[in-house]
Amino acid sequence: MKQSGEKVRKIYYWEFQYNELTMQVASSDIGAVRVRIRFTREDDFISELTALAPRAEFYKDFRPNEALVNVLEAYLKGDNPPMDLPWDVNTTSFRYEVWKGVCTIPYGETRNYKDVAFMVGVPKGARAVGQALNKNPLPILIPCHRVVSISGLGGFGAGIDVKRYLLSLEQGDLPARLSQK
């Protein structure tokens, strides 16, 4: 329940298709709140947003998401646009440091979880880095797909096929769908 004088957080969401990907995005007046990427459309985006911000009001609106959509579309076309949009996320200081560290990984390159742990000053924290990346609400803006395990691709919240797709895209191999194993 809203307290008298309490400002209600407004979150604006939008969905768009790019090739075979469904992109669901959300922004506030402060910045990007959530990006979700899937090969299949899922209807639970509002439920997910409500869990992130239970006291917020939600509006389907393109305009507050226009800059975010433009950056994501440019990226998915194979460009390397600046990922300098503001974030509106609530997180721990450790996750924030991991996410900021991952943002320094150059386009088209990868690092492993241990590398990122060293970057954020926790040399034995590879597992903690993986857990922080698992909570990333802004894939692509926070390019956690560029972090791989020593023995393979590692995990990815949007699924390993999407991670493979994004990594191939950055290598200049604009893939059809990469779900073929």
* Residues labelled as active-site residues: 144
Phi and psi (nearest 5°) for 50? -65, -35
The DSSP annotation for 51-74 comes to: HH-TT-EEEE-SGGGHHHHHHHHH
Task: Show the tokens assigned to 39.
Answer: 């090969």
Phi and psi (nearest 5°) for 20? -95, 5
- Taking phi over 0 as left and psi of -120 to 50 as alpha, with beta for the rest, 8 belongs to beta
Task: Show the tokens assigned to 17.
Answer: 């298709």
Separation of alpha carbons 18 and 73, rounded Å? 7
Task: Show the tokens assigned to 23.
Answer: 């992109």
